[in-house]
């Protein structure tokens, strides 16, 4: 059982439940207390000790059900076995169909696997597959491409070589039995394939997920495929969660400063200045204020979408965000983003201002005219766009005034540095007034950019 529990812990890690050694010890102790006879109680005990949130509970519950449901060998499927199978299989061999074996040839001279297959003892065969899986260390399987190699490893461990020899021998001496054995072998292959697929589902999930996320993190946001959008949104939410965890705590911790002597004395005047009650200074700290201007024209739109999603999922860290979207003119979109689901909000923004040809000059004029007052010396202004203004007046002077009024001006450009300044890109002219200019094409770069911006308020 201990071996099984260990394998279960590995499977649990596979579904994203963090099982540390300490937790596995706890789980072992819990299982020792409740026993393994009652499956429901065992399930509860493992869920209580291992899972740490409701999501993990659900994932782990599914994992438990999958793990403890060994694939039931099918009726017509003869069993295979390896060396540790009982050797009492001297019954007449029977083929695929159950108990239609009437012939009386004794299978002397056949290998253990052949005997097992012909004896059709399902439990023995299941046990044999399980122990062969152990020998082939099935729990190391990581990728779906490894299915073939693990299947053949398991079959080898069960003694496939010997079975082949037996088959060759039987083909000449006893064709009927050989036929049955061949059918049995096919069924065995199928059973092993099922076992491997189950193993893949149990043990490989984490690795596959990591790989997929890693690829996704470094994929250009602008050219993401439609089917990946949902996954990307999930990834952005993960990033937001990480940033929240990193930046929402330290601010509180450092709030308390030195002893406030004046207030302490005043408070304790009644006791003749003996300091019964103490008063402490509070460190003043800017609350993050962010004004985001996002280009939603053409190819930049997708990046803006993810950026807005990220910045608006950071409520705990930055509660004061005002977002503006523009292509040929500029509107405020904060309310749309706050009140609707990301998908709906984005489509509404797009229908209002999206997909026009971008005109940075007139959009900046719009901003200066209506929203310049939103900027304070604590504000970080983030502009997200490729700075391609279709050869219209870039109005860099307005950007200078924005820069003067705010704490920082950060420009995120989805294009690579090499492209800046070529064609109609006004990036070099704008860059003079920006505190930071950085490339922001992938989820990874987006995370780093937002992380740096939030960090300046810590």
Partner 1 sequence: MADQKASTSIEAVESGLAAQGYIASRQIATAVYLSQQIEKPILVEGPAGVGKTELAKAIAAWRGMKMIRLQCYEGLDEAKALYEWKYAKQLLYTQILKDKLGEVLGGAQTLHAALDQLHDFGDVFFSKEFVEPRPLLQALEQPGGCVLLIDEIDKSDAEFESLLLEILSDFQVTIPELGTVSAITPPTVILTSNSERDLGDALKRRCLHLHIGFPEQRLEERIVESRVPGISQTLRRQMVGFIHEIRSLDLKKLPSVSETIDWARVLVLLQASELDTEIVKDTLNVLLKYETDIEAAAPQVTTFIAKAARSNVFG
Task: Name the residue with tokens 């693990």.
Answer: 150
CB closer to partner 1, 41 vs 208: 41
> Can you tell me which residue has the tokens 């061999």?
93
Q: At 393, is the secondary structure helix, strand, or coil?
A: coil
Identify whether the C-beta of residue 209 lies closer than 8 Å to the C-beta of residue 416. Answer: no
Nearest-5° Cα angle at 180, 179 to 185: 100
For partner 1, the closer CB: 19 or 216: 19
Q: Report the first-to-last Cα separation within the chain, whole angstroms.
A: 50
> Coil, strand, or helix at residue 284?
coil
What one-character DSSP code corresponds to residue 160?
Answer: H
Site string for partner 1, 388-417 (x = CB under 8 A): ------------------------------
Question: Per CB under 8 A, does 338 bind partner 1?
Answer: no
User: Is residue 279 part of the contact set for partner 1 (CB under 8 A)?
Assistant: no
Neighbours of 383 (CB within 10 A): 26
The Cα 377–Cα 307 span in angstroms is: 23
- Residues of this chain, 38-67, that bind partner 1 according to CB under 8 A: 40-41, 44-45, 47-49, 51-54, 57
Shortest distance (Å) from residue 65 CB to partner 1:
16
> 292 to each of 1, 295, 311, 334, how far by Cα in Å?
57, 10, 9, 10
Span interacting with partner 1, options 1-9, 30-38, 172-180, 221-229, rule CB under 8 A: 30-38
| 6, 18, 74, 242: which one binds partner 1 (CB under 8 A) | 18
Nearer Cβ to partner 1 (61/71): 61
Cβ of residue 149: shortest distance to partner 1, in angstroms?
A: 36
For residues 60 and 12, give the distance between their C-alpha atoms in angstroms, rounded to a whole number: 6
CB of 32 to partner 1, least distance (A): 9
Cβ proximity to partner 1, 29 vs 262, nearer residue: 29
Q: Which of 33, 69, 341, 373 binds partner 1 (CB under 8 A)?
A: 33
270 binds partner 1 (CB under 8 A): no
- Please, which residue, 120 or 313, has the CB nearer to partner 1? 313
Binding region for partner 1 (CB under 8 A) out of 32-40, 105-113, 156-164, 217-225: 32-40
Q: Could you tell me if 236 and 440 are in contact, meaning their C-beta atoms sit under 8 angstroms apart?
A: no
Rounded to an integer, what distance in angstroms lies between the CA atom of residue 229 and that of residue 443? 12
Between 44 and 156, CB nearer to partner 1 = 44
- 34/350 with CB nearer partner 1: 34
d(CA 412, CA 332): 19
The helix/strand/coil state of 409 is strand
Nearer to partner 1, 54 or 123 (CB): 54
Residue 34 lies near partner 1 (rule: CB under 8 A):
yes
| Residue with Cβ nearer partner 1 (247 or 430) | 247
Check binding of 274 to partner 1 (CB under 8 A): yes
Nearer to partner 1, 343 or 424 (CB): 343
In whole angstroms, what is the distance from residue 112 CA to residue 63 CA? 34
Binding residue (CB under 8 A) for partner 1 from 13, 16, 23, 342: 23
**Site size for partner 1 (CB under 8 A):** 28
Whole-number Å distance between alpha carbons of 298 and 355: 5
* Total residue length of the chain: 458
Give least dist CB 231 to partner 1, A.
22
Is the torsion defined by CA of 328, 448, 253, 313 positive or negative?
A: positive
Both structure tokens of 18: 């963090």
Based on the shown chain and the rule CB under 8 A, indicate whether residue 282 belongs to the binding site for partner 1: no
- For 168, phi then psi, to 5°, come to -60, -45
Cα–Cα separations (whole angstroms), residue 253 to 315, 384, 450: 18, 32, 22
C-beta of 280 vs 355, nearer to partner 1: 280
Rounded to the nearest 5°, which phi and psi values hold at 327?
Answer: -135, -75
Mark residues 289-328: x for contact with partner 1 by CB under 8 A, - for none.
---------------------------x------------
In angstroms, give the least distance from the CB of 446 to partner 1.
Answer: 22
Q: Which residues bind partner 1 (CB under 8 A)?
A: 18, 20, 22-23, 26, 29-30, 33-34, 40-41, 44-45, 47-49, 51-54, 57, 245, 249, 252-253, 274, 276, 316
């Amino acid at each position: 059982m201990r071996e099984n529990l260990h394998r279960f812990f590995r499977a649990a890690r596979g579904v994203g439940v963090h099982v540390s050694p300490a937790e596995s010890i706890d789980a072992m102790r819990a299982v020792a207390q409740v026993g393994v006879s009652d499956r429901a109680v065992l399930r509860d005990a493992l869920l209580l000790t291992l899972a740490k949130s409701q999501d993990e509970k659900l994932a782990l519950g599914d994992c438990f059900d999958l793990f403890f449901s060994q694939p039931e060998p099918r009726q017509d499927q003869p069993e295979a076995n390896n060396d540790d199978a009982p050797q009492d299989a001297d019954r007449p061999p029977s083929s695929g169909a159950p108990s239609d074996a009437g012939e009386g040839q004794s299978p002397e001279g056949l290998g253990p696997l052949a005997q097992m297959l012909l004896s059709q003892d399902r439990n023995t065969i299941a046990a044999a597959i399980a122990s062969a899986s152990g020998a082939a260390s099935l729990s190391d399987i990581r990728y779906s491409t490894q299915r073939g190699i693990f299947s053949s490893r398991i079959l080898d461990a069960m003694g496939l070589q010997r079975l082949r020899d037996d088959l060759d021998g039987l083909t000449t001496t006893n064709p009927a039995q050989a036929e049955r054995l061949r059918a049995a072998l096919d069924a065995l292959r199928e059973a092993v394939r099922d076992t491997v697929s189950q193993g893949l589902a149990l043990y490989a999930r984490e690795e596959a997920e990591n790989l997929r996320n890693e690829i996704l993190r470094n994929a250009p946001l602008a050219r993401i495929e439609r089917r990946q959008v949902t996954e990307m949104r999930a990834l952005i939410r993960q990033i937001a969660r990480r940033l929240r965890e990193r930046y929402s705590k330290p601010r509180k911790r450092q709030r308390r400063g030195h002893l406030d002597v004046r207030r302490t004395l005043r408070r304790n005047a009644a006791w003749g200045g003996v300091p019964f009650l103490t008063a402490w200074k509070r460190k003043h700290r800017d609350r993050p204020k962010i004004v985001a201007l996002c280009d939603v024209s053409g190819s930049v739109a997708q990046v803006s979408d993810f950026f807005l999603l990220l910045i608006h999922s950071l409520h705990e860290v930055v509660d004061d965000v005002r977002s503006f979207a523009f292509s040929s003119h500029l509107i405020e979109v904060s309310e749309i983003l706050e009140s609707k689901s990301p998908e709906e909000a984005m489509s509404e923004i797009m229908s209002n201002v999206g997909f026009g040809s971008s005109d940075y000059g007139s959009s900046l004029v719009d901003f200066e005219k209506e929203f310049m007052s939103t900027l304070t010396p604590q504000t970080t202004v983030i502009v997200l766009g490729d700075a391609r203004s279709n050869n219209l007046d870039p109005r860099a002077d307005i950007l200078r005034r924005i820069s003067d009024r705010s704490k920082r001006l950060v420009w995120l450009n989805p294009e690579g540095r090499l492209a800046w300044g070529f064609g109609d890109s006004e990036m070099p002219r704008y860059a003079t007034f920006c505190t930071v200019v950085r490339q922001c094409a992938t989820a990874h770069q987006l995370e780093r950019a937002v992380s740096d911006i939030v960090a300046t308020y810590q």
